A and B are shown apart, each in its own frame.
Chain A
Amino acid sequence: MTNPQHIGGIRGFFARLGGIDRRWIFLAMGLSIAIPILLKLRFPEYPGPMAKATFDAVEKVPEGSTVLLSFDYDPASAAELQPMASALVHHCASRKLKIVFMALWPLGKQQADRTIDTVLKPFHPEYREGIDYAQLGFQAGNEGVIKVMATNLPKQYPNDADGKAIGDIPLLKDTKDLGAFKLVASISAGYPGAKEWVQYGNGAMPDAFEVVSGSTGVQVGQLLPYYPKQMEGLLVAVKGAAEYEMLVEAKYPAADPEVIGQGRVRMGPQLVAHLLMIALIVLGNIAMIAGRPRGGAR
């Protein structure tokens, strides 16, 4: 490799770019995210087929039916998943569906509680605990929890999260197994999560209910093969959340668009950061080519 210091002109400039201190790149990336947040940059989103399929899956559920929302994530993934969880709860409540919350992750219960406090209670004050919604909380056991729920839900969850016997909760007193739900939605950050719901929930009762999922970008590659046959809908990372928010907001406007709009807020910095990243990849390649000796071996 030729020493970039010995190359002149524009080629030399680009060759020297290859040795730039990476902290300048960190700074540029930080600014590309901070500035759109401060300027509140928002761009229109165009819902894709997977977001539409998720929306349609919820729309198809008859009014008054019960749906199961499994919060299979923790605060480390909340940046991507909380926007879709909020939109999903608002969507289900707007359709007057009964909602049962549960979690396969220990901190998923807290995320569900937060969603109840920030979305369900303020936007749907008519929802009463135990009658219109219930919080089952977290149970240890990973896919074992789903497997037991598929055959005997009260055995896995004898009480709700507050310790109230399941037989004393009007919404759940007649629930025997997962077949009681028309839709299972897993907001999933990894194991255990959406994949396990397909394998052990949908696999055990393929015709009883539909499965939809919201997933982190890192994990979604594992879930894509299940869509659309084994998974009715799939929200892909914050982009999927933003698209789903658009669909929900268009039909069921929320009292506070800021709460059902976090995904779209985070898409502004995404665009600028992605443009920067593309520019850096192009510049990096130019710098590599410029640094090569002329006429030399590759």
Chain B
Amino acid sequence: MNESMTNGNDEKPATRRRSSFLWFSLALLGISLCVLRVAVASQDGAAASAEAARTLWQSIGIWVAAFMTLGIFSFLYKDNPFYKVCESVLIGVSAAYWMVSAFWSTLVPQLFAKLSPTLVKSYAMPSLTPSETPGLDFALALVPLALGGMLLWRLAPKGQWISVWPIAMVIGVTAGLRLISAVESDFLAQISATMRPLIALETTTDAAGVATRSFDFWGTVGGFVGVIGVLSVLSYFLFSIEHKGVVGKSARLGIWFLMITFGGAFGLTVMGRITLLAQRFEFLFKDWLGIG
């Protein structure tokens, strides 16, 4: 007997009662929200007019979105079939959307339009601008076509090594493309941005247009914190020197800087997630229930 069957047979009456209570509560909550929705729409003039301005399909879309939102939220109580359905719909729709989007935004304009511009213009892209060098475009498009075919060879029963070549080309081109910009923007420019005056001065211009420079306390503090932070964090990543003495103390300070950075990043992530939840509640209250 497998484990799930054993669990099913041995399910305690208390667990079953709790599960029934959960479903009864969820059903009651759903019915209450629907009743509230109807009541608000009939009583509130603004909600009723907003409802009247919607087309039937918009209303259906809002109801489906509301039930999907509640279905995903139901996971917070317990994993359940309603959640599973909503999750599967999300994954299926997303995968289908990305597939169609990639076909129409990449394959059709970047490949098929170059291989057969007349056919694509007639049946897929009426706005396709004719190329000045169709022969060259055709010849160049054969390269990604061949590489794409080689990549799909991975699915063949034999000769999977063929797919390694296009992957190698993608990696090589991407590395080459990113190397220069990374060196310029993420390395040289960052070093330059770090080299700022430790004693910061603030320039203010009065009504007569006379500029005066004064000591900027917080700018100076920021400058010192920046320099100490960069040096101490860099010393933490010096793995070829044992973290003892001055290097050890500096590395320990570097850990503090890193921890504060991670804390800040976590706080920002929390803020983002709360915003997402707030927006979903706004949708449920305003667009679906017509309150708030």
Contacts and interface: CB of A to CB of B under 8 A. Distances in A.
Nearest to A105: B101
Given A217-B268, A220-B268, A269 B278 contact: yes
Given A30-B277, A199-B185, 4 more contacts: A40-B292, A163-B127, A199-B178, A230-B185
B270 to A, nearest CB: 7
A16 interface: no
11 contacts: A26-B77, A37-B285, A143-B178, A199-B178, A199-B186, A216-B272, A218-B269, A229-B192, A230-B189, A237-B268, A238-B272
B182 interface: yes
A277 B270 CA distance: 10
A138 B186 CA distance: 27
A278 to B, nearest CB: 10
A273 interface: yes
Size range of the chain B interface in the assembly: 35 or more
Given A34-B281, A203-B181, A230-B189, A80 B127 contact: no
A69 interface: no
A106 interface: yes
Nearest to B270: A277
B279 A266 contact: yes
Interface string B59-74: 0000000000000000
Contact of B181 (A23, A34, A199, A274): A199
Given A23-B77, A147-B177, A217-B269, A38 B292 contact: yes
A239 B272 CA distance: 10
Contact of A229 (B125, B126, B193, B275): B193
Q: Which of B76, B178, B184, B185 has the most CB of A within 10 A?
A: B185
B38 interface: no
Interface in B238-292: 261, 264-265, 268-272, 274-282, 285, 291-292
B185 A203 contact: yes
B189 A237 contact: no
Contacts of B265: 221
Given A230-B189, A230-B193, A239-B271, A164 B281 contact: no
Interface of A: 23, 26, 29-30, 33-34, 37-38, 40, 78-80, 106, 138-140, 143-144, 147, 158-159, 162-165, 198-200, 202-203, 216-218, 220-221, 225-226, 229-230, 236-239, 265-266, 269-270, 273-274, 277
Nearest to A268: B278
Given A40-B292, A165-B129, A229-B189, A236 B181 contact: no
B271 A237 contact: yes
Nearest to B196: A229
A164 B127 contact: yes
Contacts of A23: 76-77
A158 B278 contact: no
B272 A218 contact: yes
B106 interface: yes
A200 B261 contact: no
B275 A270 contact: yes
B277 A33 contact: yes
Given A33-B278, A138-B105, A164-B127, A198 B185 contact: yes
Contacts of A139: 105
Given A199-B182, A277-B270, A78 B127 contact: no
Contacts of A230: 185, 189, 193
Given A140-B110, A273-B274, A200 B281 contact: no
A258 B158 CA distance: 61
Nearest to A272: B274
A139 B105 CA distance: 7
Contacts of A236: 268
A38 B105 contact: no
A132 B271 CA distance: 36
B190 interface: yes
A80 B272 contact: yes
A37 B282 CA distance: 7
Contacts of B76: 23, 26
